[in-house]
Amino acid sequence: MRVGIIGLGKMGQIRAEALERSTRARVGLVYDISPPNGCPYPLARSAEEVLASPDVDAVFVCVPNYRIKPLVVAALRAGKHVFAEKPPGLNAAEVLEIRDAEKAADGCKLMFGFNHRHHESIQRMKQIIDSGEMGRILWIRGRYGKEVDDEFFEGWRAKKELAGGGIMLDQGIHMLDLFLYLGGEFEEVHAVVSNLFWKIEGIEDNVFAIFRSNETGICASLHSTMTQWRYLFSLEVFLEGGSLILNGLKTSSGAYGDEDLAIKRNTHEGGFTSEERIVYHADTSWQSEVDQFLDCIEQNIPVRLGNSQDALNLMQLMDRIYENQ
């Protein structure tokens, strides 16, 4: 598989390394406005050169938020398979435009980087939920927080026109995607969007949101914050027969610690039966994600995790959260 990468910052480099480890693909052409020193890959003079190259079968779009939709659409129109980082556009309307291009690009695979679905701890939670061994989900609670330093204000993430939003679109989107992945769709949305501390116009520093599914009755609450002052990832799923509680998340920064998953089993009447603890020390999510994308292309199978329908469901909820600004 011959791959082109547009955007060779942190995420582009992570994707390039995963592609190389797969041994099933090679990075043949890259473009970045400021390529890293000693770039080991052939450099294009523009993003358009990558898209037009007959030597590129698939394109990885690893760019700031405002550039994702136009580049994904252009890549699909050029007949390339596409892997794009999140968010899948700045809003649901942009995802609909992408889906139109996807339909027209018959045979081209499109996958979005909802990386957290690929963590081993999340996959274990999903397996237990889908098996039904602990009954139905009753409620979900997620908290995802970090702090930012002065460098944040110098980058594109601190500019509404480039980022599209603040901490919810930047990081909380992962937690919201996990709610959809584990709990299904939510129709009822209530949210409070705040920028009480940093006071950057259009860049919220906190979101408190609650959701409910009309079909299943599942309720969920989410707090996304960049005034945490201590890095935190916590995802709790409570079911009829127990709970799944995940604290920590292996990331490239290492800021969130190991993934500590507690699986507590009760009788359906609430009595304690057992508790299992699993700690995941390694992050295999990046490799899993790239390998699944390559599988979809090589085997001509549908994208299972991170397809455009997942993207649309997610951004429709995101739009409703931001209506509360």
Question: What whole-number distance in Å separates Cα of residue 46 and Cα of residue 226?
Answer: 34
So what's the pLDDT on residue 202?
93
Phi, psi angles (nearest 5°) of residue 280: -100, 120
Which pLDDT score, from 0 to 100, does residue 324 have?
A: 75
pLDDT at position 120: 97
Range 120-283: architecture per CATH: 2-Layer Sandwich (3.30)
Rounded to 10°, the helix 308-322/92-104 angle is 160
In the prediction, which pLDDT does 267 show? 81
What are the residue ranges spanned by the domains of the chain?
2-114+287-300, 120-283
The whole-chain average pLDDT of the chain stands at: 96
> Which is it for strands 272-280 and 259-266: parallel, antiparallel or unpaired?
antiparallel
- Give 262's strand partners: 245, 277
Q: What is the pLDDT of residue 272?
A: 78
Q: Tell me, yes or no, if the two domains 2-114+287-300 and 120-283 fold the same way.
A: no
- The answer to whether the CB of 268 falls within 8 A of the CB of 135 is yes
pLDDT digits (tens, 9 = 90+) for 157-168: 999 999 999 999
pTM of the model: 0.96
For the domain bounded by 2-114+287-300, which CATH number is listed? 3.40.50.720
Low-confidence ranges of the chain (pLDDT < 50): none
Quick: pLDDT tens for 179-217: 999 999 999 999 999 999 999 999 999 999 999 999 999
Q: What per-residue confidence (pLDDT) applies to 11?
A: 95
Residue 149's contacts (CB-CB under 8 Å, 6 or more residues apart) are none
Burial of 97 (0-12, 13-18, 19+ CB in 10 A): middle
Helical H segments across 78-172, by residue range: 92-104, 120-131, 150-154, 160-163, 167
